[in-house]
Structure 1
């Protein structure tokens, strides 16, 4: 495939070269990644390039040759971004008729793959292969899901490891604000996080504002903006070890103090198998550097990730 301004063919470890009778050099899937010089290209530029590739017939030609295309480092941060990306190909959206699995709609023509119990295996299959009405193209996208609980409480609360609603999102809330105004200001702060969803809980006469539960779905692996290399950039391991220490790995994830303290989940809310998390912990143990601190020393950490680096540093 000729190089384009933003997307170029890139090595992808899991790809396999299909044998005959497939075409020679048929890598499955073919990987297209952002070029190192364009790791932070605006989503609009990526969408424009997809539109051009689709309109020229290149996407269809690549699918004919390889069967699947894996797009790396696109920087999609939400179901809405994924929806825009999918619609950039110009295809007619599939309408489910007689869908045998339960799904949750997350954005326009975007839904979870299957809401069935994770105890049931999903065997290899073709999408809607049991029906004469099946989609011509299928796209998958995923992240990891974090949940944080913020109880209502004062700004100077120090008795808990977590933060209160006001400490987390109450920067612009005044003591004279009524409940409706305070909530509006808090929710406006949450909206600054593009993937966040939330709900208020436990409202009562003595807790008029209520407690706050916030979810964020984020990619577990992100590209470094300068090197273009993938980085395991997340809080999955810390949430796992925290839950392990407090004996809250398994539902209902309630600690000895009666507080909900879950590990990290997949983006659809399903649990991440413990063996995956234990492997990540072991890898970190093998590669960590145990620094011996001396007064006056400074350590500077490269904390870059495409969707994360807003400020040059923090202290």
Structure 2
């Protein structure tokens, strides 16, 4: 097994930034890999599991390992080729790239582009690139922690180990039940459990909401309605009122159900929240004052 580790700040002070040491590039990026293969490895699966004090994301390849891989934290995830911002839920984004690799074949994509997880730290992985022999993913995390990367053979895998040695509490997240909606058999939103940090449950729950439904939940017809929103800001939680502003755009999409049906019960389960006021991207809501729920006009049926 080949291991690549991030240098601690103390060790980094003793080395020259940018110098290659034992196959690792000093200066904040982890990089390693075997010699170039004759064929381009293909990413065929992305899975995740919690073991011990860490979350492990496993990228499995057919045709051998990529020539190299890099992993580092970024402020935002940018799509390869187009340069557009790829929105990733969470408090930190860990970007992982594989060189001399692909995530497609003649029939199309060979690995999931987006997967949500019910793990303490890793909440989702999002592909931001499969371009000119470079495959890139962003991992949305509940908390920025130390990480390291290892490679395994038979089958060929690159494993990202993310620290998760912290306590979480289970909270309910409400998801949209499309089958119930189509059949007109309420309730249209149903709760599912997620782990969140105890100190910031409102933020943690909203992050999990934007991370989306888990693969098994999606297969049973559950999903997240985002109503055009790409993110959120918790404006305040005070006097029994949670105030949440959506970012991106805001639209009901011509439907009678919107993201409000997920946010309202998700936040009202918290002991400090009796009412929820949702604001659009411009900061507007229909009833900004008073002890009552409120939504912006863009979410009205």
Report TM bin, short chain.
under 0.3
* Structure that is richer in helix per residue: 1
**Structure showing greater Rg:** 1
What TM-score comes out, normalization by structure 2 length?
Answer: 0.24
